């Protein structure tokens, strides 16, 4: 299990409303002084900085947020084990991983939402009721086509009663597979979303395209995955080493251009 550590330096900038009310008088007095001396932006900024220095006011230690993700070996182990349990479980894991959909989006996917000819998946109601189109890896599109067989409508993943899975049931399936495979950290559906996001960025896909792929409304959310960690650094160094070309012939390569051209080869 690999982790990305995000340092959020903006959290301490937000104050409770009660504290803001207490500071209103101080703000008015400060504004009065700045008007008196006709301070501009740079001058006022300099005064704030020097005042903090004079009073020895220091910023609290920034909080760190740990973003977990799966390694390639762990993904393969989970998917292989899922195939031995039930083919539908393996397809659930693959869809979570290679589309990056949220679990709430996964359970709502209908067969008619998939354009197999164009390798596209339509998300009807994403987070915030937003729609988006996700480009599908060609191999995943082909596997889903085989999986649905002659079904032309209905939910992609259905229970025995031909109704859609609940998000809780998907969480249980993923967790169960993780435990049986023997991965120590708890495995949950969102972990696959973290994994594909980091993978795409590490392969050079522009961050704005990854933002569109994941359906993030703000690019700052996507930037969490762009934080450099020791694993990424090691991988970058490895790629600079001279290797035998024959050993890399079958190495998967991510190719991008237009978002629709995302493919695994």
Hey, which residues are catalytic here?
102, 127, 190, 193, 216, 225
Q: Is 117 helix (H, G, I), strand (E, B) or coil?
A: coil
Q: Where are the alpha helices (DSSP H) in 127-205?
A: 138-148, 167-181, 190-202
DSSP designation for 11: G
Any idea what the Cα angle at residue 71 is, between residues 95 and 111, rounded to 5°? 0
CB count in 10 Å sphere of residue 23? 12
User: Is residue 263 within 8 Å of 255, Cβ to Cβ?
Assistant: yes
Phi, psi of 110 (to 5 degrees): -110, 155
Q: Give me the torsion for CA of 183, 189, 191, 193, rounded to 10°.
A: 150
């Amino acid at each position: 299990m690999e982790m990305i550590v995000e340092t959020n330096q903006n959290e301490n900038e937000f104050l409770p409303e009660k504290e803001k009310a207490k500071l209103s008088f101080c703000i008015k007095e400060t504004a009065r002084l700045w008007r008196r001396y006709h301070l501009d932006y740079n001058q006022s900024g300099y005064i704030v900085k020097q005042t903090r220095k004079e009073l020895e006011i220091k910023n609290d230690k920034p909080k760190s947020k740990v973003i977990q993700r799966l390694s390639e070996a762990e993904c393969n182990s989970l998917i292989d084990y899922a195939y031995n349990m039930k083919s539908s479980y393996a397809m659930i894991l693959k869809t979570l991983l290679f589309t990056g959909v949220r679990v709430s989006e996964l359970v709502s996917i209908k067969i008619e939402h998939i354009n197999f000819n164009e390798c596209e998946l339509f998300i009807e109601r994403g987070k915030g009721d937003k729609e988006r189109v996700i480009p599908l890896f060609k191999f995943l599109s082909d596997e889903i086509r085989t999986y649905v067989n002659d079904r032309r409508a209905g939910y992609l993943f259905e229970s025995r009663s031909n109704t859609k899975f609940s998000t809780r049931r998907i969480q249980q399936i993923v967790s169960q597979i993780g435990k049986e495979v023997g991965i120590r950290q708890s495995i949950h559906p969102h972990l696959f979303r973290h994994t594909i996001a980091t993978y795409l960025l590490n392969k050079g896909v522009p961050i704005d395209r990854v933002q569109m792929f994941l359906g993030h409304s703000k690019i700052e959310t996507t930037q969490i995955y762009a934080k450099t960690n020791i694993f990424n650094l090691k991988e970058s160094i490895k790629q600079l080493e001279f290797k035998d070309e024959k050993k890399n012939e079958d190495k998967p390569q991510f190719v991008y251009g237009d978002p629709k051209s995302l493919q695994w080869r």
